[in-house]
Amino acid sequence: MALTSMFVIVNPIGNVMVFLSLTEDRRFDEKKRIAKKTAIFGCLTLVIFAIFGDFILSFFQINIYHPYLPHKQDSLQNV
């Protein structure tokens, strides 16, 4: 399930056309180098957010109960 979710988030099939249009004037070896760097950077970004995602969300006081209020109790007091 997690692999499917990551596949949908990254959307490699949809991003192929964007990559090809952005690199149409480049040589094949340059395209290969750019694709490799992009894949490494993307994987590192996913891993960092997978490991530190909870900390980042709590630092910015974002929760799953109500994304616009910092705490669940605050949303109940305003009702």
Q: How far apart are CA 38 and CA 12, in angstroms?
A: 12
Q: CA-CA distance, 31 to 59, in Å (whole number)?
A: 38
State the pLDDT at residue 6.
78
Q: CA torsion 52→43→3→16, rounded to 10°?
A: 140
Number of domains in the chain: 1
Mind listing the pLDDT tens digit for each residue in 8-67?
888 889 999 999 999 999 999 999 999 999 999 988 998 898 899 989 988 988 877 765
Amino acid residing at 28: F
pLDDT of residue 3: 78
Range of the domain at 61: 2-77
Q: Are 26 and 36 in contact (CB under 8 A)?
A: no
Q: How confident is the model at residue 76 (pLDDT cuts 50, 70, 90)?
A: low
Reported pTM: 0.64
